[in-house]
Chain A
Amino acid sequence: MNRNGNGVLRVVQAGPLALMVDDGRFGVRHLGVTQGGAADWFSYRWANWLLGNALNAAALEIAIGGGLVLEAEADATLALMGADLDVRLDDRPVAPGASFRIGAGQRLAFRQPRNGLRAYLAVPGGFDVTEVLGSRSATPREQLGGQHGDGRALQAGDRLRWHGQAGTTRSLPFLPATSLTLSGNSLALVPGAQIDRFTGASLYRAFNLPWRVDDRADRMGVRLVGPKLVCRMGSMISEGIPLGAVQVPPDGQPIVLLNDRQTIGGYPRLGALTPLAVARLAQCLPGHEVRFVATAREQALETYRRCLAAFDRVSPGQAPRPLSRSS
C-alpha cells in the first residue's frame, strides 16, 4: 500500500476529452470566467470519498473514454466512480464504485461508454496541480487551470503527479446512493421568473413530453430535441446565467447550460435544473430521453442537503442511506 508515497500516472494515449477537475472556480464569474469543474459533481466527490481524500481533491474527469490509456509509474491505490467506460487494468475489467490497486507499469485503458458518459478517477490525496483563480479545474476554452495551468485537456506524454497523504481507503457495500446520477430520466427544474413568458401549450409540452439529448452536447451546454417551445419574449438583454439554466433560443429547442457555460447570455429561460439534475444530465449520452419535473426551491435545497449529508453519514463498512430517485 503506497498510501503516503508519491505517484505518477503517465498519459500513454489521450482520449477525446479527459480533464483535470475539482469543484470548480467561484468568486470569479464577474471577470467573465466560467465555473468549470466536475460536471457530475456527485460521482466526482464519491471518487475522492473512496480514497478518504478531501472531497474537493483534484481528480480526472474522463468523458466517453475512447482510448485514454494511463500507465502507473509506481504501485498505488486509485478509485473509479461515475460512468462505466469499460475500463481495463491491463486485461482485467475495473468497475466503477470502488478503489483498486494498480502496480508499477500497469496500464489503465478507458474504452467506451456502457452506462453513463463521464467517469472520475481519484488518486491518493488528489493530483498535484497549481490553482489558477482558486481552482485546479482545466477549462480549455479559457486556457485556464489543469496540469499545465493553460486549460489543456490531457495529452500523450503528460505525467500526472500526486504527493498523497490519503486517508483510509473506504468501500461502498452497494451503490444505490452513488449511482443516483446514472439512473432515472427525470430532471428536477426550479422554475424561474421568465417562465410565464412561455405560452401555456409550451409549458404543458415542456413538462409532459420527453426530450431527447442531442449530439450537440459538451461541457458548455446540452441541447435537447422535442416539441417546439414558444416564448413571447424573443431575446433579452444579456444577464448572468446560473448552472443548469434551461434557456430557449428562437428555434424553440432548449439548451441546458453546464459547468463551462458562458457567464452571461440573452435567451429566455424556463428555470434552472437542481444540482443533482445537472449531474444526471452530464451523464446522458446523445439519444437518451429525459423529462423535466418542476420542483420548488425549498424541495431542491432539501434534496441537495441530503446528497451532501450522505458523504458524512457513510462510514467504512456502512451502507449509505438510499436517496430519493425523484430528485
Chain B
Amino acid sequence: MTSTMRIELTAMDVVMVRLFDSIDESNMGWIVAADRELREAFGGALIDLVPSYTTLMLHYDALNMEHGEALARIRRVLERLEPASTELGRCHDVPVWYDLSVGPELVRIAERAGLAVDEVIERHCGRDYQVFALGFAPGYGFMGLVEEALATPRLPTPRRRVAAGSVGIADRQTAIYPLLSPGGWNILGRTTFPLFEHARRGDPLLKPGDRVRFQPISREEFIRQGGDTTPLELAP
C-alpha cells in the first residue's frame, strides 16, 4: 500500500479505488494485481470492476453487501497489495499496413515531427507499447507511450466514421479501433488484428499489462490476411 491510495464514493453502489495520481508505465503491475485481488475478495458480490490508468472503479452488489463491508474488503486488499510482474502480460505482434489511403495522418504526424513518412512508420514500430486500459469500444486498448516526436493531438474535428482495424495516435497514446466508429485519433494504418471478435466472446485479445509491437506489412500481405483496403475517407 502506498500513500497515494484512496477509496472514493462515486455513486450509490460504486467506489473508485485510486492508486496513483499520474500515468506511469510502472503503475500497471499494481493495477493488474489490484484487479486480481479485488475480484477474488468480492466474488459474487462484484458487479463490475473497471481498471484504468491510475484507478479501478468497483461496482458492487449494494443490495446484498453493506457499504462498510465493501470498504473493509478493499482496504484489506490494498494493505497487502504487491505489484504483479508485468512480464507475465502477453506480448502481441500486430501486423499493420501503413499507407496514406488507410492512414491519412501519416502526413500530419510526419510534418509535425519533421520526419519522412517512412521514418514515422519505423518509429511507431520501433518500441513495445503497454496496454494501460480498455475502454471506448469493446476490446479497444489504450496503449503507450509513443515517442515524444510522434505525439500528435487529436483531430480538431473527429471523423464520423473510422474503419475497423484503424491504428491511431492521440498525444502519446496509440490504439486500434475494433469496429467502425466515430473517432478523433490520427490514423496511420490498418490491421486485421481481431479485437472485436474476441471481445464479443468475452475473451479480449488485449488486457491491461499486455505489450504490443506493431509490424509493418505490405498491401499484398494485408489482403492475404483478409484486410479491407477501402480508403479511410471512403468508409461506408
Q: Which residues of A contact B199 (CB under 8 A)?
A: 31-33
Of A32, A274, A298, A305, which one neighbours B138 at CB under 8 angstroms? A32
A-B pair count, CB < 8 Å, reads: 133
Q: Nearest chain-B residue to A32 (Cβ)?
A: B134
Q: Are B55 and A193 in contact (CB under 8 A)?
A: no
> Quick one: CB contact mask for B173-189 with A, threshold 8 Å, 1 for yes?
00000110100000000
> Quick one: CB contact mask for B191-210 with A, threshold 8 Å, 1 for yes?
00000100110101000000
- Given A33-B138, A263-B50, also A28-B202 (CB < 8 A): yes
Q: Nearest chain-A residue to B55 (Cβ)?
A: A239
A207 within 8 A of B: no
Q: Which residues of B contact A241 (CB under 8 A)?
A: 57
**Residues of chain A at interface, number, CB under 8 A:** 44
Q: Are A193 and B48 in contact (CB under 8 A)?
A: no
Q: Are B13 and A301 in contact (CB under 8 A)?
A: yes
Of A31, A141, A274, which one neighbours B139 at CB under 8 angstroms? A31
Report how far A33 CA is from B204 CA in the complex, Å. 11
A304 within 8 A of B: yes
Q: Which residues of B contact A262 (CB under 8 A)?
A: 135-137
B152 within 8 A of A: no
Range of interface residues on chain B?
35 or more
A143 within 8 A of B: yes
- Given A32-B137, A32-B139, also A239-B16 (CB < 8 A): yes
Q: Nearest chain-B residue to A277 (Cβ)?
A: B12
Report how far A301 CA is from B181 CA in the complex, Å. 36
Q: Are A263 and B135 in contact (CB under 8 A)?
A: yes
A1 within 8 A of B: no
B59 within 8 A of A: yes
Q: Are A29 and B48 in contact (CB under 8 A)?
A: yes
Task: With both chains docked as a complex, state the minimum distance between the C-beta of B231 and any C-beta of chain A, in angstroms.
Answer: 22
- Given A144-B200, A193-B8, also A263-B136 (CB < 8 A): yes
19 A-B contacts (beta carbon < 8 Å): A26-B47, A29-B59, A30-B49, A32-B134, A32-B178, A142-B137, A190-B11, A239-B16, A239-B52, A240-B14, A242-B14, A245-B10, A245-B11, A272-B12, A275-B12, A297-B12, A301-B13, A305-B63, A308-B63
Query: Which B positions have Cβ atoms within 8 angstroms of A?
Result: 6, 8-14, 16, 22-23, 35, 46-57, 59, 62-63, 67, 133-140, 142, 178-179, 181, 196, 199-200, 202, 204
